[in-house]
Chains A and B, each alone.
Chain A
């Protein structure tokens, strides 16, 4: 229990929760965007620049970090108009690498040496922001917009036939994800007071992806996934060296035995609004069974598994 009270651990969990939520919304919508480290880098460098060079307070700088994170998703969103599925994942990965590469050559932000000296942000603010983000995402997830996003992730064709504006909704989900990643990046910069391009590598995406797979594609699921997997190596400190392998094993087992994650249904909002959330939205992994996007994939793998 001491672990839960230590501030670095709380901060780590808060940042990871924000990042997991930022990956959740595009994924729920069926936009497999792996551009998260890029958005995070933009938020981190943006808020650092505002506080260091412009003399802004941390609060407004974080707001701007979130906005910058959302704004930088626009070119990514334009990619979604052309490609999807695994191709989109690779394209967004490349675009994120480009952003990080830019920062590792951009002299004013210290290039590969990184940037330091950002004003410190206390842990309780991070935790507060994470909690707020969780509540807001839970509300968003169960709102009309959230339902539209889930419908889109389930079957874009049907969603489009029901009058949903598919490109706009995809843009919106990417923007929400980008804003959360930007905010997380800002928090990261102000908590650790040091950022370098190495902080925004592909490995960050893979970690967060694992949190999401373990937790399930719902706001509460992402919180649980992020919190549990972040805490496991902290609680069992003797396992610290083997922590990534432990993650790997957990994710492998989860993918085989609980493909929808720990919490595929959104229990948090049922508790928040008991009257309205009686019909839970379908977990996306189950819904993918009928989704168009996964059809070719399933057809292709069916034989390999069954024959």
Chain B
């Protein structure tokens, strides 16, 4: 039973981690929160449903859903981040939110507010390990997201692209002077982060076989908590905090008060703010100077 819950927690945690990585990457390079992230998360499964309806094979449709989400991310950057005057205190915040709301309204007007069935496209056999039953989809998602996270950590740590975005996060002007093509790298970050969001959306859609225009909302706010707990801009922290929170939430639901699992996340977040504002694995944010 405990192992079963642990697997469920890892599953939820890997979704959180994928969303959190996207959030934290964008925050790292722009120092702005991308509130459209969770809406892009929600559009990917809808795009996949449309493609499957048009007769595209499921594998391809899902791949194209992720690509579509990534392209939406690029559009988001060009429409809602790049043209905003940088002295606008709330600019990126409200602009990305507006972009996300526009996406949501489009989905609501096409599909309505009720949940839509997501076809069980992948028929993978269930795996039984002792008394733990893992559905094929669950296992597949875990493997894919685990591999992606390891790969991403490697990319951020050891490749030229990773070094570029870390340099931009530290000081974009200096990075630009030293030959980093800043706008291109930022655009790449948006493609990457939105693609990850789309993948997370597909994972959730396959798990519950039902999607809705509001499916991203709860994940969005929780992912905010995750990137703070992991330390803003810290990819490794986002992965660990995402997995940790996913497991904690499932355990909390199973063994403590079910209705209060969200309260746990918020209290954890505020606790981190008060006691360790740089995040539990983080590199540090400044507290107030006066």
A→B interface (CB under 8 Å): 79-84, 86-87, 89-91, 93-95, 97-98, 101-102, 104-105, 156-157, 160, 166, 202, 206, 209-210, 213, 241-242, 244-245, 247-249, 251-252, 255-256, 259, 284-286, 288-289, 291-292, 294, 296-307
Chain B residues in 8 Å Cβ range of A249: 98, 102
Contacts of A93 in B (CB 8 A): 221, 224
6 sample A-B contacts, Cβ–Cβ < 8 Å, listed by A number = A89-B93, A94-B225, A241-B108, A301-B30, A307-B173, A307-B181
Q: Does B242 contact A (CB under 8 A)?
A: no
C-alpha spacing A134/B82, complex, angstroms: 35
Other A-B pairs beyond A241-B105, A303-B175, 7, CB < 8 Å: A83-B287, A156-B288, A241-B108, A244-B104, A288-B88, A292-B289, A307-B176
Whether the Cβ atoms of A94 and B266 lie closer than 8 Å is: yes
Q: Is the CB of B99 within 8 A of A252?
A: yes
A210-B94 CB under 8 A given contacts A98-B266, A303-B175, A304-B183? yes
Residues of B within 8 A of A256 (CB): 83-85, 95
Contact (Cβ within 8 A) A242 B86? no
Contact B273 A91 (CB under 8 A): yes
* B106 part of interface (Cβ distance < 8 Å): yes
Chain A residues with Cβ below 8 Å from B232 are: 87
Q: Which residues of B contact A95 (CB under 8 A)?
A: 266, 270
Q: Which residues 57-104 of B sit at the A interface, judged by CB distance below 8 A?
A: 79-80, 82-95, 97-102, 104
CB distance from B280 to the nearest CB of A (A): 15
| Complex CA distance for A175 and B151, rounded to whole angstroms | 48
B288 pairs with A84, CB closer than 8 A? yes
* Contact status of A255 and B182, CB under 8 A, knowing A87-B277, A90-B269, A101-B263: no
Assembly CA distance A89 to B224 (angstroms): 11
Whether, in the assembled complex, B254 has its beta carbon less than 8 Å from a beta carbon of chain A, the answer is no
B: which residues have CB within 8 A of A? 29-33, 79-80, 82-95, 97-102, 104-106, 108-109, 168-169, 171-173, 175-176, 181-183, 186, 217, 221, 224-225, 228, 232, 259-260, 262-263, 266-267, 269-270, 273-274, 277, 285, 287-290
Q: What 3 A-B pairs are tightest by C-beta distance, nearest first?
A: A303-B172, A248-B98, A307-B176
Q: Contact at B172–A101, with CB atoms within 8 Å? A: no
Query: Chain B residues with Cβ under 8 A from A213's Cβ?
Result: 90, 94
CB of A98 within 8 A of CB of B228, answer no
- Select B86's contact among A87, A105, A166, A305, beta carbons within 8 Å: A305
Nearest chain A CB to B263's CB is how many angstroms away?
5
CB atoms of B98 and A304 under 8 A apart? no
Taking a contact as CB atoms under 8 Å apart, the answer to whether A304 and B186 are in contact is yes
- Which one, A102, A160, A247, contacts B101 given CB within 8 A? A247
Residue from B98, B181, B186 whose CB has the most chain A CB atoms within 10 Å: B98
Closest to A294 in B: B89
In contact, B101 and A245 (Cβ under 8 angstroms): yes
Q: Which of chain B's residues has its CB closest to A207's CB?
A: B101
What is the CB-to-nearest-CB distance from A56 to chain B, in angstroms, rounded to a whole number?
30
Whether B172 and A87, one on each chain, are in contact in the complex, defined by CB atoms closer than 8 angstroms, is no
Instruction: For A90, list chain B residues within 8 Å (CB).
Output: 224-225, 228, 269
Q: Is the interface of A mostly helix, strand, loop or mixed?
A: helix
**B-side contacts of A259, CB under 8 Å:** 84-85, 87-88, 91
- The CA of A87 and the CA of B127, in the complex, are separated in Å by 42
Residue of B nearest to A303 (CB): B172
Contact of A82 among B79, B80, B92, B273 (CB under 8 A): B273
Q: Which residue of B lies closest to A290 (CB)?
A: B87
A127 vs chain B, min Cβ distance (A): 28
Which of A90, A256, A294, A303 gathers the greatest number of chain B CB atoms within 10 Å?
Answer: A303
Closest chain B CB from A6 CB (angstroms): 24
Contacts of B83 in A (CB 8 A): 256
CB nearest neighbor in A for B286: A296
* Structural contact, B99 and A296, CB atoms closer than 8 A: no
Q: Contact check, A101 vs B89: say whether CB atoms are below 8 A apart.
A: no
Contact B289 A242 (CB under 8 A): no
Q: Do A252 and B224 touch (CB < 8 A)?
A: no
Q: Is the CB of A255 within 8 A of B102?
A: no
**A304 with B172: CB separation less than 8 A:** yes
A98, A101, A248 interface centre (most CB from chain B within 10 Å) = A248
Q: Is A298 a contact of B86 with CB atoms below 8 Å?
A: yes
Residue of B nearest to A292 (CB): B289
Give A106 Cβ to nearest chain B Cβ, in Å.
11
If A95-B266, A101-B260 touch, does A301 touch B32 (CB 8 Å cutoff)?
A: yes
Tell me which of A156, A252, A284, A297 has the highest count of chain B C-beta atoms within 10 A of its own C-beta.
Answer: A252
Residues of A within 8 A of B228 (CB): 87, 90
Residues in A with CB closer than 8 Å to B82 are 304-305
Cβ A245 vs Cβ B99 within 8 A: no
Residues of A within 8 A of B98 (CB): 210, 247-249, 251-252, 255
A252 to B171, CA, bound (A): 27
Chain B residues with Cβ under 8 A from A101's Cβ?
Answer: 260, 262-263, 266
Expressed in whole angstroms, the Cα–Cα distance for A249 and B100 within the complex equals: 11
Q: Kindly provide the distance from the CB of A253 to the nearest chain B CB, expressed in whole angstroms.
A: 9
Q: How many angstroms between the C-alpha atoms of A244 and B100 in the bound complex? A: 10
**A84 CB, min distance to chain B CBs, angstroms:** 5
